Structure 1
Amino acid sequence: MPSTGISVSCLMALVVLVAVVSADKAPTICNVGVSELGHCLPAITGDKPSWPTKDCCKVMHKVNLPCLCNYKDKFLKYGISPKNALALPKKCGLKLPKQCRGKY
């Protein structure tokens, strides 16, 4: 199981990336705030991620899933398991867009 430091560093890397892209606004990605996406970190990191919380699923219902799928090839770079991340929408009662499907 990754240490908290790894999860925090993954979130910070994502915050920095998004902040650079949208420096004139609060950091957002695919229609949700980066800090909101942090609610889902425990559900997508580690060998045995926890089940997504209600707060995480609320975020997933707001996120633009096709947009988020565009980041799937970058998940590993930020310490996020693509397999866990791509399983998250279904766990929150959403259908995974076709462009998100693939081998990981």
Structure 2
Amino acid sequence: MKKSQTLIVVVAMVMMFLLLEVSYGNRVIKGSKAMNLCNMSEDDLKICKPSVTKPNPVDPSLDCCTALSKADLTCLCSYKNSMVLPLYGIDPDLAMQLPAKCSLTPPTTC
């Protein structure tokens, strides 16, 4: 019974992810809002992705650090143990190191 409940939760999360991907990834409706996560635009997230992707992460660029300085770091911390980050190819451990690499103070609760 426990395995089936876990499977249901995983399937539901995958379906939710796919729904979000279709909603935000394929902007069919002209003028629809771009994705914004914790005060970071989709472009901001893409700028920082090379710094949080294995196997060869690079140091964050000035543009990445500028984008991260405007982000809601507490909000980003809420994704720390989420299954969402790996689905986008983001390594959570590398992501948690990014504020320090940009000389930003991470939230104390992160």
Same fold (TM over 0.5): yes
Distance 2:109 2:87 in 1: 19
Aligned length: 85
Q: Runs of at least 4 residues of structure 1 off by over 4 A?
A: none
Query: Which deviations, in whole Å up to 9, do the C-alpha atoms of 1:65-102 show, x marking residues without a partner?
Result: 001111222322322111110000000011121332xx
Residue matched to 2:74: 66
- CA-based RMSD of the aligned residues comes to 2.4
CA distance, structure 2, for counterparts of residue 30 and residue 41 of structure 1:
15
* Cα deviation 1:35-84 (Å, max 9, x = unaligned): 11110011000123100001100111011000111122232232211111
Q: Percent identity?
A: 38
Structure 1, unaligned stretches of length 5 or more? 1-12
Equivalence for 1:36: 44
Which residue identity lines up with residue 19 of structure 1 in the other structure? Y
Match of 2:5 in 1: none
Distance 1:54 1:16, change over 3 A: same
Residue of structure 1 in register with 2:11 after alignment: none
State which structure, 1 or 2, has the greater radius of gyration over its C-alpha atoms: 2
